Chains A and B, each alone.
Chain A
Amino acid sequence: MKASKIAKWFAITAISLGFTATSALADDTLDRGLGSEWSSLDPQVNFDANAGWIMSDVYEGLVTFGPGGVMRPGAAESWDVSADGLTYTFHLRDGAKWSNGDPLVAQDFVNSVQRTLNPDTVSDKGYYFYSVVQVKGAAALANGETTDMSTLGVTAPDDRTLVIEMLTPAPHILEVMGAFQIPPLHTPSYEANGAGVFIDPAKVVSNGAYVIKEVVPQSYVLLERNPTYWDAANVAIPFVKYQVTEDVSTELKRYEAGEIDITYDIPANQIESLRASIPDQVFVYPIIEELYYTFNLTHDVFKDINVRKALSLAIDRELLMNKIVKSGAVATFSYAGGFDPTYDGPLIPGAELTQAEREAMAKDLMAAAGYGPDNPLKINIVTTVSDSRIKMAQGAALMWKKVLGVDATVEPMEVKAWLDSFNAGTWDVFADDLVGDFAGAESFLAYMRPSAESGYNWDKPEYDAQMDVAATKADMPSRNIELAKAEKILLDDVIFAPIAREASHHLVSPHVHGFEPSVAEYNLSQFLTLD
């Protein structure tokens, strides 16, 4: 840190103290709570969902997501799919421009994917191109096996045509063609200034509905409407300010004082009272995040499927989520279902019974496994430290105690230790939590492949084989049918107990219009209005 830099900052601080008096209440600015600080504004590097909201306002991918998260054409106005489902050809809009007036061309998207995959960029987002969908050549580039960018299956035959070739069909590819995964890269400004360009409002060039006007680390990012955006005429709000709102109760007060228009979160213990007092402003809706309790298959007790089944059935999910946790998370009997309305997946065995019947069945299964009042099962539940997660684990432990006489202890850990503990296997029951990459069953089911994640110690070649069958289907309906068969194999083995789909919580000011629940949390500022 240089002395001159500090001096400069002193000067800036002094000036800002003396002269600025901009009010957050100014009605041409939409103030959005961001939660914790953005980890990066580098569009090819950022991997945080909240920073992704800023990225989606500032950059536009090939597709974009309208009100309710409904996919619509973005920088590409249309696309074709080859008969085998392996090649997607995107046609870019005529006359689309960067914020500095340069024409937006297909090569800008090629450059973006190349930069994401280039090991020198140190980005983990290449994952979308070699794992979520398998683009030709992506894995070899990401793993550093080759540096020859011409081997990549993302090409630009002309300025308005972008071709993506895949190794296996992936009808869900459009879900990952948005600004979060494939923001175009304005190569001249990047090459002139390096990665520092993305946080420099004077130099950054973007193609979305907004441009970055000001960046104050740890405080806010101010965006201004981009006049060169192709649909600028339909962007209603002139300014958007994403404010760091790390403390959820302070955020609530800032909302009440009119400083924040859309909050990042709602304090869990306030949801009920706010629902009663300002029901129209409370938005609580399920998102693509699954909460499930995984059983440690390397421990002898859990090698018996009866024990796993009994523990799963003994949890009264409705009671647990609606009366104990009360975070808005929705009880579920499926793992991958409910995110994509076109996917009709199976439920866990026993879901068709009443809770009383399930508990009776659980008792029988536990007795059959040799556990009872004189020989109680003793296990631990490893969970993260947030209030609602701890409540959830304590509730489950209580139900296991009451129904089965199981002695379960709750071990809360901060997130990094919790992640580490999964790999170390120092748990009987792991309070698992998975955020999907897109609103589809495959995102969750692919994660459970024994070949992909060995941490579950689940030896099931049939599951991999069934997922391989699903991967050959190029159309969504027949793919979903095969995926449902795979989910049945997964749920029938009861290697975990699916419990709930996590919810998102926002307070939305009555002055903001157009905010709609979206499972993937897409609420782009360009589709909102302010009065």
Chain B
Amino acid sequence: MLRFVGKRLWNGSLTLFALVTLTFFVMRLAPGGPFSRNRKISPEVQANIEAAFHLDEPIWQQFGRFVWGLLHLDLGPSTRFRDYSVGDIIASGLPYSLTIGAWAVLVATLVGIALGIAGAMRRNGFTDYAAGTVGVIGIAIPIFVIGPVLQVVFAVQLHWLPVGGWNDGWRSLVLPVVVLALPNIAYISRLTRASMIETMRENYVRTAVAKGIGPTRTLIGHTLEGALIPVIAYLGPATAAIITGSILIETVFALPGIGRHFVDAALNRDYPLVMGITLLYGALLILFNIVTDLLRAWIDPRLRHAR
């Protein structure tokens, strides 16, 4: 087990290094730089500003400097947000993204699995159709439509919740969590339903029923355990994507997470910030994939023995 994790971590770091190397050089190919502007500042001052961020050095040296910083867990200063280092920006934005993301994952998993089970148990009944409809809506309607609609209804009309910002404690969380969870509820419920229906036809489930151990125990101990494997496989990368912050959610609900920085930093040619966020996203994605594999192995003995 430890060897497996170690090997995955080592492979993950190699992938990560390839990712940041590629990002570093691709980013420099984009026209313009962090200090392009149409102001007449003197060439000496412009040169001084670029030198302060080492932009005057040959690109290989800049890359070396970046890697050296990385080894010391120093991502450097942001070229746009001058009061903060890239580490500061991530440290201040990540907790918000994590909070919203964690709640969204929790809600999506619980509601999604519950709807999926309900649909599978009462196939083609009312619950199944209702869950199916929610699923289709969740998948088909994009965030930038459903978000504003909920804002208009619950904030502008009813005044129950704020439209956006981070000024009202838990009330600021409700709409973003719901909107972020919705498409995932849809996927998870469809996955659970399909997988449940398939598992219910398995021999070991039929055996359990034949032994007469009761519908609840069969459901939880036998059917669900087998049916959840694809759901867990989905949850790994989905969790990484959700908790690292959704650019759309953070923009639509004016939340101070890090997702928004991803696009803005690239547009502002804030090289260090782009690198920092890419690195974080990459690392989280790899980490959650490893965790998913471990969870699947834990649930599914066949995977354990195969290794």
The interface of chain A, by Cβ under 8 A from chain B, is: 1-2, 5-6, 9-10, 12-13, 16-24, 36-37, 39-42, 45-46, 119, 122, 124, 126-127, 130-131, 139, 142-144, 195-196, 198-199, 216-220, 243-247, 249-251, 253-254, 256-259, 414-422, 424, 434, 447, 452-453
Report yes or no: A257 in contact with B169, Cβ–Cβ below 8 A: no
Report yes or no: A422 in contact with B148, Cβ–Cβ below 8 A: no
Chain B 67-78 interface mask (CB, 8 Å, partner A; 1/0): 000000101000
Q: Which of B30, B84, B99, B163 contacts A13 (CB 8 A)?
A: B99
Report yes or no: B152 in contact with A253, Cβ–Cβ below 8 A: yes
Task: Give B191 Cβ to nearest chain A Cβ, in Å.
Answer: 30
Task: Give B86 Cβ to nearest chain A Cβ, in Å.
Answer: 9
Query: If the complex has contacts A37-B81, A416-B267, are A257 and B38 also in contact, measured as CB distance less than 8 A?
Result: no
Report yes or no: B155 in contact with A1, Cβ–Cβ below 8 A: no
| Closest 9 pairs between A and B when the two form their complex, measured CB to CB | A416-B32, A218-B256, A143-B44, A420-B32, A219-B256, A1-B87, A420-B31, A40-B82, A9-B95
In the complex, which residues of chain B have a beta carbon less than 8 angstroms from the beta carbon of A245?
254
A186 to B277: give the CA distance in the assembly, Å: 35
A435 to B68: give the CA distance in the assembly, Å: 40
The interface of chain B, by Cβ under 8 A from chain A, is: 30-33, 35-42, 44-46, 48-49, 52, 73, 75, 80-84, 87-96, 98-99, 148, 151-152, 155-156, 159, 162-171, 173, 251-257, 260-261, 264, 267-269
Q: Which of B83, B171, B252 contacts A199 (CB 8 A)?
A: B83
Task: Give A257 Cβ to nearest chain B Cβ, in Å.
Answer: 5
Closest to A131 in B: B40
Report yes or no: A217 in contact with B84, Cβ–Cβ below 8 A: yes
In the complex, which residues of chain A have a beta carbon less than 8 angstroms from the beta carbon of B90?
1
Task: Give A264 Cβ to nearest chain B Cβ, in Å.
Answer: 11
Task: Give A223 Cβ to nearest chain B Cβ, in Å.
Answer: 15
- Among B41, B253, B255, the one with the most A-chain Cβ atoms within 10 Å of its Cβ is B41
Known: A253-B164, A420-B32. 8 other contacts (CB 8 A): A9-B92, A19-B169, A24-B168, A39-B82, A40-B83, A124-B46, A216-B256, A257-B155
A287 to B214: give the CA distance in the assembly, Å: 76
Task: Give B12 Cβ to nearest chain A Cβ, in Å.
Answer: 19
Report yes or no: B163 in contact with A254, Cβ–Cβ below 8 A: yes
Q: Which of A23, A199, A250 contacts B254 (CB 8 A)?
A: A250
In the complex, which residues of chain A have a beta carbon less than 8 angstroms from the beta carbon of B152?
253
A126 to B41: give the CA distance in the assembly, Å: 8
A13 to B39: give the CA distance in the assembly, Å: 40
Q: Which of B73, B91, B159 contacts A9 (CB 8 A)?
A: B91
Report yes or no: A17 in contact with B148, Cβ–Cβ below 8 A: no
Report yes or no: A452 in contact with B165, Cβ–Cβ below 8 A: no
Closest to B80 in A: A39
Report yes or no: A416 in contact with B167, Cβ–Cβ below 8 A: no
In the complex, which residues of chain B have a beta carbon less than 8 angstroms from the beta carbon of A22?
167-168
Report yes or no: A253 in contact with B155, Cβ–Cβ below 8 A: yes
In the complex, which residues of chain B have a beta carbon less than 8 angstroms from the beta carbon of A21?
168-169, 171
A142 to B48: give the CA distance in the assembly, Å: 9
Closest to B269 in A: A416
A259 to B161: give the CA distance in the assembly, Å: 11
In the complex, which residues of chain B have a beta carbon less than 8 angstroms from the beta carbon of A220?
165-167
In the complex, which residues of chain B have a beta carbon less than 8 angstroms from the beta carbon of A127?
39-42, 45
Q: Which of A131, A198, A243, A416 contacts B83 (CB 8 A)?
A: A198
Closest to A19 in B: B169
Q: Which of B87, B91, B93, B99 contacts A218 (CB 8 A)?
A: B93
Closest to A9 in B: B95
In the complex, which residues of chain A have a beta carbon less than 8 angstroms from the beta carbon of B256?
216-219, 244
In the complex, which residues of chain A have a beta carbon less than 8 angstroms from the beta carbon of B254?
219, 243-247, 250-251, 254
Report yes or no: B81 in contact with A40, Cβ–Cβ below 8 A: yes
A29 to B273: give the CA distance in the assembly, Å: 33
Closest to A122 in B: B52
Report yes or no: B42 in contact with A142, Cβ–Cβ below 8 A: yes
Query: If the complex has contacts A24-B167, A218-B256, A249-B148, are A256 and B156 also in contact, measured as CB distance less than 8 A?
Result: yes
In the complex, which residues of chain A have a beta carbon less than 8 angstroms from the beta carbon of B170?
17-18
- Report 17 cross-chain contacts, Cβ distance below 8 Å, ordered by A residue: A1-B91, A6-B91, A10-B98, A17-B99, A20-B168, A24-B162, A36-B264, A42-B83, A45-B82, A130-B42, A198-B83, A250-B164, A256-B163, A258-B159, A417-B30, A419-B36, A434-B38
In the complex, which residues of chain B have a beta carbon less than 8 angstroms from the beta carbon of A24?
162, 165, 167-168
Q: Which of B40, B155, B159, B268 contacts A452 (CB 8 A)?
A: B40
Query: If the complex has contacts A40-B83, A219-B166, are A5 and B45 also in contact, measured as CB distance less than 8 A?
Result: no
Task: Give B85 Cβ to nearest chain A Cβ, in Å.
Answer: 9
Closest to A432 in B: B38
Closest to A16 in B: B169
Closest to B44 in A: A143
- Among A414, A421, A422, the one with the most B-chain Cβ atoms within 10 Å of its Cβ is A414
A243 to B167: give the CA distance in the assembly, Å: 10
Task: Give B232 Cβ to nearest chain A Cβ, in Å.
Answer: 26
A453 to B38: give the CA distance in the assembly, Å: 10
Task: Give B9 Cβ to nearest chain A Cβ, in Å.
Answer: 18
A22 to B168: give the CA distance in the assembly, Å: 6
A414 to B32: give the CA distance in the assembly, Å: 10
Q: Which of B42, B156, B268 contacts A131 (CB 8 A)?
A: B42
A20 to B169: give the CA distance in the assembly, Å: 5
Task: Give B177 Cβ to nearest chain A Cβ, in Å.
Answer: 12
A453 to B94: give the CA distance in the assembly, Å: 43
In the complex, which residues of chain B have a beta carbon less than 8 angstroms from the beta carbon of A216?
166, 256
Report yes or no: B45 in contact with A126, Cβ–Cβ below 8 A: yes
Q: Which of A196, A218, A417 contacts B31 (CB 8 A)?
A: A417
A252 to B44: give the CA distance in the assembly, Å: 43
In the complex, which residues of chain A have a beta carbon less than 8 angstroms from the beta carbon of B169?
16-21
A41 to B83: give the CA distance in the assembly, Å: 7
A374 to B42: give the CA distance in the assembly, Å: 47
A419 to B261: give the CA distance in the assembly, Å: 21
In the complex, which residues of chain A have a beta carbon less than 8 angstroms from the beta carbon of B89?
217
- Among A19, A199, A247, A258, the one with the most B-chain Cβ atoms within 10 Å of its Cβ is A247
Task: Give B109 Cβ to nearest chain A Cβ, in Å.
Answer: 20
In the complex, which residues of chain B have a beta carbon less than 8 angstroms from the beta carbon of A256?
156, 163
In the complex, which residues of chain B have a beta carbon less than 8 angstroms from the beta carbon of A219?
165-166, 254-256
Closest to B35 in A: A124
In the complex, which residues of chain B have a beta carbon less than 8 angstroms from the beta carbon of A195?
83
- Among A10, A12, A253, A256, the one with the most B-chain Cβ atoms within 10 Å of its Cβ is A253
Report yes or no: B252 in contact with A119, Cβ–Cβ below 8 A: no
A287 to B46: give the CA distance in the assembly, Å: 27
In the complex, which residues of chain B have a beta carbon less than 8 angstroms from the beta carbon of A415?
32, 267
Task: Give B271 Cβ to nearest chain A Cβ, in Å.
Answer: 12
Task: Give B49 Cβ to nearest chain A Cβ, in Å.
Answer: 5
Report yes or no: B40 in contact with A250, Cβ–Cβ below 8 A: no
Closest to B172 in A: A17
Query: If the complex has contacts A17-B173, A124-B39, are A253 and B167 also in contact, measured as CB distance less than 8 A?
Result: no
In the complex, which residues of chain B have a beta carbon less than 8 angstroms from the beta carbon of A45?
82
In the complex, which residues of chain B have a beta carbon less than 8 angstroms from the beta carbon of A258?
159
Closest to A417 in B: B31
Task: Give A454 Cβ to nearest chain B Cβ, in Å.
Answer: 11
A21 to B172: give the CA distance in the assembly, Å: 10
Report yes or no: A416 in contact with B82, Cβ–Cβ below 8 A: no
In the complex, which residues of chain A have a beta carbon less than 8 angstroms from the beta carbon of B148?
249-250, 253
Q: Which of B36, B92, B155 contacts A416 (CB 8 A)?
A: B36
In the complex, which residues of chain A have a beta carbon less than 8 angstroms from the beta carbon of B168?
20-24
- Among B30, B82, B167, the one with the most A-chain Cβ atoms within 10 Å of its Cβ is B167
